[in-house]
Chain A
Amino acid sequence: MKNKPTNYLLQTINSNKEILILTAILVVAPFLFQNDFHYEIAIVAILNAMICIGLNLLMGYAGQVSLGHGAFAGLGAYISVILVSNYQFSPVFSIFLSIVLMSILGFIISKPILKLKGHYLAMATLGIGIIINIVLEVEEDLTGGTDGMSVDSFTFFGYELVDSLQWYILVAVLLVLFIYLFENLINSPFGRILKSIHDSQNAATSVGIDVSHYKSIVFVLSVVIATIAGSLYAFFSGFISPGEASFAHSIELVVMVVLGGLGRVYGAIFGAVILTVLPQFLTAFEEYETLIFGLIVVAVMIFMPKGISSLWDKIVEKKGTKNVTSN
């Protein structure tokens, strides 16, 4: 752990290498896909990874738990979808409007609840998530209630996305873009503020940082990313139901981040991909699927409490390569 240079310029070079590997994987992956189902899983995994990037910013870096991000993603998606079907806005513009609305909502929510800490914060976000879920179920005129509603096709600047490959390219490009922006953000004074809030709010305050302001900003950022990914998922699947905004989905997202490795750039992505893909493999076990899935998750948390990405550290350390840990 000692004397690893955290020269920030050096770090960009390093992270560029990682982002190149990821890009390569994303480019190669479609050649292994045999049917639309494979594409679908890949797209869902990538969209989950996006939400997890935002959630990781909030949980892993700023240290604020949220058990409501599934609900935010779902609500954002509903807003986008309703704007398209009821007001005939273009999908891209609808998502943009949804981002604006969700940012405002996120900001208003963040002010009171981020005053809470630990379990209380978890409870508050959980409550808000459940409220959102109930609203989506009850407002049948707008949302179609528990039956859900069908979603118009997604047009991207006049170009209609129907093909799975097109969708895959869109979400893959967005994922790489988000990771690029995210890494830059984390390795900037802004990122340092988030880490300091995680470690010691008193320290942050004592050097002039408005802790509550930055907590709100990072909360809004994570809600925005959830809105984007949630909306894209709705347009991709052509259908949306309150299940997207359910408590179970929120928990799933948190598990992805924690399993992958809190506060690790690529941890959230590992977690999202594994938790999306793994259940598909486990279907072979039929009724024991959930049991085995649960056992695997428990085993990972026991043997790798810092998440799956900590495995990467060990490999790197063994090879004697320098500096990945500080990410």
Chain B
Amino acid sequence: MLQVTNLTKKFGGVTAVDNLSFNVQKGTIHSIIGPNGAGKTTLVNMITGVYKVDSGTVFLDGADITNISTNKLVYRGICRTFQNLEICSNMTVLENVLLGFDKYMDKSIFKSSFRTKSIIEDEQRYTKRALHLLSLIGLEKFAYTKAQNLSYGILKKLEIIRALATSPELILLDEPVAGLNPKETAEVSQLIKTVVKDEVTIILIEHDMKMVMDISDYITVMNFGQKLASGTPQEIANNEDVIKAYLGSGYE
């Protein structure tokens, strides 16, 4: 579904991502792992149009989507979450999810100003859907709580739910369990697994190896901006280059 070919990004003299190519199959969880500084987040930023690509192309279902901006990609069915939490902290949990439905809602200034029937109906319809999404992960009891009053773990989940509200075909999760305790990690893992059931393709960037090995269908390993290896979790776990990159050589 997503085809990345020869993607390169340089920051000054540093090549953050170097001639990287990989394919993501529809309906799978494709993890991208690698040591810190391997260029994983840069890769996500390039796919989602945050950074301009120096060279290479990104195809979505055969269509060239290289350098299309993040907000436009949402309308093409690609949504992402962030390594550092990006939640509207002064808004309620419900409002944060409703924000995810934004692309379906009528935002005409004139209609909004006069609060026409269609605006109210929209709001009611999507409030119901947002509450349903929240109920899937047991957050509906926090629907009317301001996001700033909730724990980091809950907000991490909220961010995934918000991304889901845009009904993407492909979702990029940038370290969804970074900083979470084992219980929260298990919950997020569970959430991601149930998401896949609904046929959303996932690109997962994560350091938590247990989780990656547990839920990935396919893994690409990056090191110094280049592809080190790729394969099923089983293959990656036994790949000597990968072990070397993570643990250093000389490890028995």
Contacts and interface: CB of A to CB of B under 8 A. Distances in A.
Chain A partners chain B: yes
B112 A192 contact: no
B71 A199 contact: no
Contact of B102 (A181, A199, A207, A221): A207
A106 B123 CA distance: 30
B114 A204 contact: no
Interface in B115-133: 115, 119-120, 122-124, 127
Contacts of B144: 2-6
Interface stretch (A149-157, A166-174, A209-217, A287-295): A209-217
Contact of B109 (A5, A185, A198, A210): A185
A204 B99 contact: yes
A195 B88 contact: yes
Contacts of A4: 144
Nearest to A210: B71
A200 B112 contact: no
B82 A185 contact: no
Contacts of A5: 144
Interface size of B as a range? 35 or more
B81 interface: yes
A206 interface: yes
- Interface of chain B: mostly helix, strand, loop or mixed: helix
A6 B127 CA distance: 10
Interface string B91-113: 11011101110110111110011
B79 interface: yes
Nearest to A7: B127
A205 B88 CA distance: 12
A78 to B, nearest CB: 26
A241 interface: no
A196 interface: yes
- Which one of A8, A184, A204, A205 has the greatest number of beta carbons of chain B within 10 Å? A205
A144 interface: no
Interface size of A as a range? 35 or more
A203 B107 contact: no
B90 A189 contact: no
Interface string A1-28: 1111111110010000000000000000
B113 A181 contact: yes
A34 interface: no
A148 interface: no
- Which one of A198, A200, A210 has the greatest number of beta carbons of chain B within 10 Å? A200
A208 interface: yes
A44 interface: no
B98 A192 contact: yes
B30 interface: no
Interface string B13-36: 000000000000000000000000
Interface of B: 69-72, 74-75, 79-82, 86-92, 94-96, 98-100, 102-103, 105-109, 112-115, 119-120, 122-124, 127, 144-146, 149, 162-163, 165-166
Interface of A: 1-9, 12, 181-182, 184-185, 187-193, 195-196, 198-200, 202-211, 217, 221, 326
